[in-house]
Every structure is written in C-alpha cells, then in structure tokens.
Amino acid sequence: MADKTNTFRESDLTLNNGTTFHVSSIFTEWRRIGGEDWIVASYTDNLKEKSSVVDLSMYCPITIIDSNVLSKVFQNENNQKDMSYYETVEYATFLTEFKQYCNFIWGSYEDGGVFIHKRTSTQYDMWLYNGFFKNESTNKYFNEIGFLGSYTENQLKGVVFFWDAWSMTQRTSWEGALYLKMGVNTGDTIDIALYSASEGAWAYRWMRDYQDVNLATWSVTCSVDWERNLLTDARFPKFAWKDMQIRDFFGPSNFDNYTHVSGSAYPNDEIDWEDEPYADDGFAGDGGGGANIDHTSDPDDTSNPEGMGVDVCSTGLVKMYNPTSAELSSLNSFLFSGLSDSIANTLKKLTSEPMNYIISLAMYHFSPISSTSGNIMFGGIDSGVTANIINKQYKTINCGTVHVPTQLKSFLDYGGYSVINLFLPYVGFVPLDINECMGSNIKVVYGVDLLSGACNVEVHITRNARSSQDDNIQRILYTFSGNCSLQVPMSSLDQRGLVQSIINVSGSAIGGLASGNPAGAIAGGLSSAVQEITTEKQTVHRGSGISSNIGFMGKQKPYLVLGRPLTSVPVNFGAFEGWTSNKRMKVANIKGYTEIDPDTIWSDNFGHATAEECQMIKDIMNKGVYL
C-alpha cells in the first residue's frame, strides 16, 4: 500500500495537575464496520520495512511482567534482541507472576483490560492487555500485552500520560495483538494511537466517549484487507474499547474528546455479559430491544432546493431579474417617463400598462444565482435597462455547523438542567431539545424561494450513538419557516397588505423558551439554602416572529443560546458522598466510599451473624461505608 500522509488534529489538553499539553494524533480516518466505529491510523511502508530492524525502541512485540522477564524474552541466545521470542513461560508460572506484579484497574486476566505494574518505587506502567491465548498445539500461553510506557508516581496522581510508549508489532501472524501507544513527544505533544495488528493490517480502534464524540475530526486510511482481518480477530477483549472505564485515572474532565466513559461495564465485574440483555454485546431476545440494534448511520438527508432541475425560471412565464440600485433608477425613469420617450414605447405604455407586468420587487441579504444578463422586458416593451437575469428560483444558504460540546459530562448537560435555544434569522428564537443537541453537530440550512421570499429552515443534527442502546443520528430533526425578503410595495394596496402581514407575523407567539423543571424535579436530599435545580425557573420569551421586513433588519446569522447549571461541589466529594453508580459488583472488588442500593437482593449468608446483625450490616452498607 502506498504511503499515506497523516492528518493531525491538534488541540490543547489540560491535565488534572494543570499541565497543558499540545495534543496531536496520527489518526486520519474513521470507518464504521459492523455497526462499530473504527479509527484507522495511517502508516507508511517505511514502517513495514523496519520490521527487519530489531529496534525495540520503535516496536513493541509484547512486554511481560517486569524488566527481568522483559529482557529475557527479548533477547535470544546471543543476547540479541529478537522479536520471535514472544512466547511466555508455562501458564502457571506466568499467572503467578502476573498476579503478583499487576493490579487490574479494569478488566480481568482472562478477558483482558488495563492494569498497572509497578516497576520501581517511583515508576509505574499502565498496560493494555487482551487476555490469554493458548496455543493448543504447543500448549504454551502467550499473552498479548501492549506496553504503554511508564510514568512516575507523582504523575500518576490524577494524570495520565506516557512517554516513550511503544508501537505495534510487524508480525503478520500476530493475531489479536492490541497496543496502545501514548507518547509525550518532545515539545510537549502527545501522540495517542490505539491499534490492533492482525495479518499485517493496521487498524486502530479508539476509545471514545459515547457522550461526546466528534469523529468528523478523525480520519484514516487503510488497506483493502484490513476489514476482513479485523473481523476475524478473535482476541479482542470483550469490552475493552467500548466500555473501558478509565476515569479513575483521567478524572471526569481531563481528556475532553479523548477519554471514554462507559455506562455499562466496570472493572472487575463478574457478570457474564454475553447473555445480559442490556449489555453492549448482549442478546436482546426475540422480543427485540436492548443490544440488538443496528447502528448503521442514516444517510445525510439535507435537502437542496437549489439543486432542483426545473423551476419557474425555466418556464419563461416568469422572469426574475437582479437589478442594481442604479438599474432600478433607470427603470423607474422608463416607467414613469412621459412623451419624451420613444414614440413606440410611449404608444405601448399607453395601451398596455407596464406596471401590470410587475409581480414583485424585493430585497435580500444574499446574492441570487444569475449567469446571464439582459434587458428588462415588460411584456413586449423593452425598457432598455440591462440587469442580471436570475436563472435559479431557489437559493440554498448553508449557515454551517456548530458543535454543542458537553461541559459537565454528566446528567446536568441534559434535559431538566440545561437548555438550548436557537436563533434563526427571519424566524426568531426556537427551542430545541437539549437531549438531541448535546454532544451533537448542528447544521442550519436555509432553502429560499425567490418567487415568494419564503424560506424553509432545516436544522440538521448529527450525533453518534451514546451507547449500545442508542442510535446514530444524521437527520433533519427540526424545520421552521419564514420569509427572508424585504418586500417593496409597488402600490398603496401592496403597502396595506404588507403592513398587515408584518403585524400578523410579529404578533405570533414564537418564543425561545428557557424553562427549567419545577423545584420538585429532584426529590429528596436538597438543601433549601442553595437553589439546586436547573438554569432558569421561569419561562422566558426571547422574542417574537421576525419574518420578512422585520427580520431584514435583524441579525443575519443563526446562533445557539446554551444555558447550563454551575455546580457547587466540594473537593473530594466522591470520597465522602460518592457518585451515582447503579452498578452490580462484588463487595471484595469495591474500593472507597460506597453506598449499597437498598433494593440489593442480599444473600442472607453473612457467616455466623444473627438476623439482627444481618440487618445491621445491610443498614450500614445502605447508609455508606468505606471499603
């Protein structure tokens, strides 16, 4: 495959400790395969050529448990670094050492996940691991582990970044290898690349935040075989990429568009997810619903009236001109000139009133589409005034796209707490559904009919599925109408009609409402000292209809008004009050402040505890304990 040029997306990344890094990426394409999103990073043939170059600073076959094992594996009998030495020791030995050195922060030994390995008292490695693979013929186990690099204990506190991270293997028979490369380069840039190497294909799957995805900024190139190879790769951790819970390290707001927050899978969960109806990979049953959702995205359905092949302009029964002010002045002189005009035209004007040929005269804040010019003709009367001829009845005004970013990355970003209104020129303020808009790309397109001045406004929402139970959206979800022309009355009758139409429009109750839920929306546990609900409690009318002549004087670009609450959260709130969870876990795997749901079905087997002691246990666990 030919060399590909990387496209970098750069942004600033502020970590928990206040450090700001300039982030770049080697992703250049996004694809959807089998309903799942894949980010494929580009690569060059140069990298393949380097497979014969055993430079482990560039490539990471697998790394194992500690530096001693690492060096042993990667060095052959001649003490040369050799990528073929990738098979581990026997299973029992491996497992013992593995468990001794590693602390899983997500996942498990069998299914893969993310764990920490302490190299020294000050250095820790974070590893991406995809579980065990047993070679039946050789009875050896080799574990595909991605080495992510190391960071110091100080950096570990609320910060996740790596340096000297390693990249992928070149082995074409390397099924199931998974690697995450996150490196802090010189100049304080971070490369974030997540990938799998299989049969020589280079495919990358990115951890993404279902709540806030802007994949339009990512793009990749790939080989023609990579899709087939990926789909046959059977060694991916079940939930590694979709459900990786890495907030423990990243913190709620560290990697704005890079981290992933899962709503389903959690570390060390012992539930068999394969059969869970609402699990990401679970089976929903014949009754439908749940995880069996086809996430194939909708096609882009933005309409384009400008693209219509036939309109009134093509009939000849109507003629549309785009005169300048000077040309209109000349036209005025023609229409109302007296006998000093040519005799022929004078006679014609006397017999057929030119004014009767005028349908309308209007002004617009855009340029109509015209490609030719000609004299303005009133019936058979040539005015002698040349003007541009409009050859398209419809005009499309694309106002562009705005991304609505999540801010709090919590329920507060959504309905009942945040609100969103959209100002549309010639329409006014209109409310949108914050649940549809949050984290979405919103595109506004006007379709204008020059014959009447009527405009059809389409609000196009693009959003990726937020979970396995959600769908991608790429569709017009709102349409509004108005009139974007300034009508110039040509008679007193026209003026009366115009004024009346303006009155009718401005009197209509079109308002952008910023209304929050009533105070009772959040039940219980509320302090009356501080208002705890929503951004605004009263209904606010942001305006009335502003179509036509009124709108002509107003703002000409749409804009969104986003209202969201500000939180008052003490430091370490989670350590004293915890955060909402609703997850099922084994108590042995829980760490930190914990409140157990009162609806938990407890096993009554608490060893030798009496019935009253059992109730005491349940009560205290419900109220909150530190595990």
Partner 1 sequence: MNAKFYENKSDSRYMNKDISLKYDNIPIEVLTPASVIRPILKVSSGLIGQSVNYVYVGELERYYFIRNWTMENGYVTLDCEVDVLMSFKAAIKQQNVILSRQEKDYNLYQVDNKMKLLNAPATRVLEFPSGFDYSTQEFVLILTGSAS
> What pairing do the DSSP bridges indicate for beta strands 189-198 and 20-25?
parallel
Task: Between 35 and 252, name the residue whose CB sits nearer to partner 1.
Answer: 252
Task: Between 53 and 588, name the residue whose CB sits nearer to partner 1.
Answer: 588
User: Which pair of structure tokens corresponds to residue 581?
Assistant: 């969870």
Task: Between 283 and 602, name the residue whose CB sits nearer to partner 1.
Answer: 602
CB of 493 to partner 1, least distance (A): 17
CB of 91 to partner 1, least distance (A): 27
CB of 165 to partner 1, least distance (A): 25
Q: Which among 579, 212, 564 is positioned nearest to 417, based on CA atoms?
A: 564
Task: Between 22 and 365, name the residue whose CB sits nearer to partner 1.
Answer: 365
Q: Which residue has 């380069």 as its token pair?
A: 185
**164-to-65, 182, 198, 250 alpha-carbon distances in Å:** 17, 8, 23, 19
DSSP of 168-180: ----TT-TTEEEE
CB of 455 to partner 1, least distance (A): 10
Task: Between 308 and 627, name the residue whose CB sits nearer to partner 1.
Answer: 627
Task: Between 3 and 576, name the residue whose CB sits nearer to partner 1.
Answer: 576
Find the Cα–Cα–Cα–Cα dihedral 568, 574, 578, 581, rounded to 10°: 90
SS3 of 89, please?
coil
CB of 99 to partner 1, least distance (A): 18
**Burial profile 407-427: b = 16 or more Cβ within 10 angstroms, e = fewer:** bbbbebbbbbbbbbbbbbbbb
SS3 of 421, please?
strand
Q: Which among 264, 272, 316, 252 is positioned nearest to 290, based on CA atoms?
A: 264
Task: Between 308 and 575, name the residue whose CB sits nearer to partner 1.
Answer: 575
CA distance 374 to 371: 10
Task: Between 145 and 424, name the residue whose CB sits nearer to partner 1.
Answer: 424
User: Which pair of structure tokens corresponds to residue 18?
Assistant: 């206040």
Q: How many residues does the chain have?
A: 627
CB of 330 to partner 1, least distance (A): 12
CA distance 507 to 545: 7
CB of 586 to partner 1, least distance (A): 5
CB of 315 to partner 1, least distance (A): 8
CB of 611 to partner 1, least distance (A): 11
Q: Which residue has 């349908």 as its token pair?
A: 359
- The C-alpha R_g of the chain, in whole angstroms, comes to 33
**218-to-125, 197, 258 alpha-carbon distances in Å:** 28, 19, 11
CA distance 25 to 385: 59
Task: Between 187 and 607, name the residue whose CB sits nearer to partner 1.
Answer: 607
CB of 390 to partner 1, least distance (A): 7
Q: Please, what is the end-to-end C-alpha distance for the chain in angstroms?
A: 54
Q: Which among 157, 146, 169 is positioned nearest to 240, based on CA atoms?
A: 146
CB of 116 to partner 1, least distance (A): 14
Q: Which residue has 């409402």 as its token pair?
A: 513
User: Which pair of structure tokens corresponds to residue 392?
Assistant: 């398209």
Task: List CB contacts of 504: < 8 A, sequence separation 6 or more.
Answer: none
Task: Between 106 and 141, name the residue whose CB sits nearer to partner 1.
Answer: 106
Task: Between 273 and 321, name the residue whose CB sits nearer to partner 1.
Answer: 321
CB of 129 to partner 1, least distance (A): 20
Task: Between 216 and 575, name the residue whose CB sits nearer to partner 1.
Answer: 575
CB of 365 to partner 1, least distance (A): 4
Task: Between 231 and 490, name the residue whose CB sits nearer to partner 1.
Answer: 490
CB of 82 to partner 1, least distance (A): 41
Q: Helices in 150-301 by DSSP H: which ranges?
A: 153-156, 226-232, 240-243, 247-250
Task: Between 183 and 354, name the residue whose CB sits nearer to partner 1.
Answer: 354
Task: Between 2 and 588, name the residue whose CB sits nearer to partner 1.
Answer: 588
CB of 521 to partner 1, least distance (A): 9
CA distance 40 to 215: 12
Amino acid at 253: S
Q: Which among 428, 426, 475, 421 is positioned nearest to 446, based on CA atoms?
A: 426
CB of 519 to partner 1, least distance (A): 11
3 state SS for 24-88: EECEEEEEEECCEEEEEECCCHHHHHHHHCCCCCCECCCCCCCHHHHHHHCECCCCCECCCCCCC
Find the Cα–Cα–Cα–Cα dihedral 353, 354, 357, 363, rounded to 10°: -140
Task: Between 196 and 485, name the residue whose CB sits nearer to partner 1.
Answer: 485
586: left (phi over 0), alpha (psi -120 to 50) or beta: beta
> What pairing do the DSSP bridges indicate for beta strands 145-152 and 123-129?
antiparallel
User: Which pair of structure tokens corresponds to residue 149?
Assistant: 């690099």
